Amino acid sequence: MNSLLLDLLTFSSVLSAILVITARSPVIAVIFLIAVFINLAGYLILLGINFIGLAYIMVYIGAIAILFLFVIMMLNIRLVEISEIGNQYNKNIPLAIIIASVLSYLISLNTISSKFDQIYLITALFDKVNFWLAGITSSSNSLYIGFNSTYNNIFVNYDEVQVLGAMLYSSHGLYLVLVSFILLLAMIGPIIITLDKKNSPQ
């Protein structure tokens, strides 16, 4: 059931990501971007990364996507410009195909091993033998054996937020200060960039 939901969320997130980059109007693109964020947040929450999933919804949808929508509505873009853009869409397709194929080749060179997985075959064979002889089934070919989040809670019952807070505020406190400076820069920078000195009343 859980795996089916994860597959469904994967499929719909990829579909909405494709719809983001092919959308004709920027407002539609931002709405599908919100759909991607919701799908990925649901994926994380289903896996067990609850806090970051909720932070995704809060930060990405509540701040970034709303900022995008606000800027798009403030800029008052005409639809004629966008349909002019759509005519030149086909010109970049060869470059896109080249870059995508090279990048996926480079990634698959490192991550996906092309060798046949013999160890898995052997364990699956032993599972079959065990099942025939003794009636014992093992869940070793289940995908979730490496992703079991309840391993943490066997000895000490920590909440996830407790662990994250202990790491954030004790051993990684300097980075927190650094991030606060980055956010301060992100506040001051756009104010100075968009300050209109000629038309201001002073």
Partner 1 sequence: MNLSITLFLIGILGFILNRKNIILLIISIELMLLAVTFMILISSFAFDDAIGQVYGIYIIAVAGAESAIGLGIVIAFYRLRGSIRIK
Q: How far is the CB of 121 from partner 1 (least distance, A)?
A: 22
N- to C-terminal Cα separation, the chain: 64
Q: Given candidates 79, 174, 177, 187, which one binds partner 1 under the rule CB under 8 A?
A: 187
Please report, for residues 71, 150, 166, 187, the alpha-carbon distance to residue 68 in angstroms, rounded to integers and kept in the order given: 5, 38, 34, 16
Shortest Cβ 143–partner 1 spacing (Å) = 11
**CB hemisphere CA count around 129 (13 angstroms):** 6
Taking CB under 8 A as the criterion, which residues in 127-166 touch partner 1?
Answer: 146-147, 149, 151-152, 163-164
Q: Which is nearer to partner 1, 104 or 130 (CB)?
A: 104
Instruction: Return d(Cα 147, Cα 119) in angstroms, integer.
Output: 19
Tokens 């919701």 -> residue = 38
Give the separation between CA 121 and CA 88, rounded to whole angstroms.
Answer: 50
CB 69 to partner 1: min, Å: 11
Q: Toward partner 1, which CB reaches closer, 14 or 129?
A: 14
Contact between 39 and 13 (Cβ < 8 Å): yes
Of the candidates 81, 82, 77, which has an alpha carbon nearest to the alpha carbon of residue 22? 82
Q: For the window 47-66, what string marks contact with partner 1 as x by the rule CB under 8 A?
A: xxx-xx--xx--xx--xx--
81 binds partner 1 (CB under 8 A): yes
Asked whether position 109 contacts partner 1 by CB under 8 A, the answer is no
Among positions 5, 8, 100, 109, the unique one binding partner 1 when judged by CB under 8 A: 100
Q: How many chain residues bind partner 1 (CB under 8 A)?
A: 72
Q: Is 46 in the site for partner 1 (CB under 8 A)?
A: no
Number of CB atoms found within 10 A of residue 42's CB: 19
Q: What is the nearest approach in angstroms of partner 1 to the Cβ of residue 60?
A: 7
Least Å distance between CB 131 and partner 1? 28
170 binds partner 1 (CB under 8 A): no
Written as six digits, the tokens of 135 are 């009636």
Asked whether the beta carbons of 25 and 82 are under 8 A apart, the reply is yes
Q: C-beta of 125: minimal distance to partner 1 in Å?
A: 26
- Asked if residue 80 binds partner 1 (CB under 8 A), the reply is no
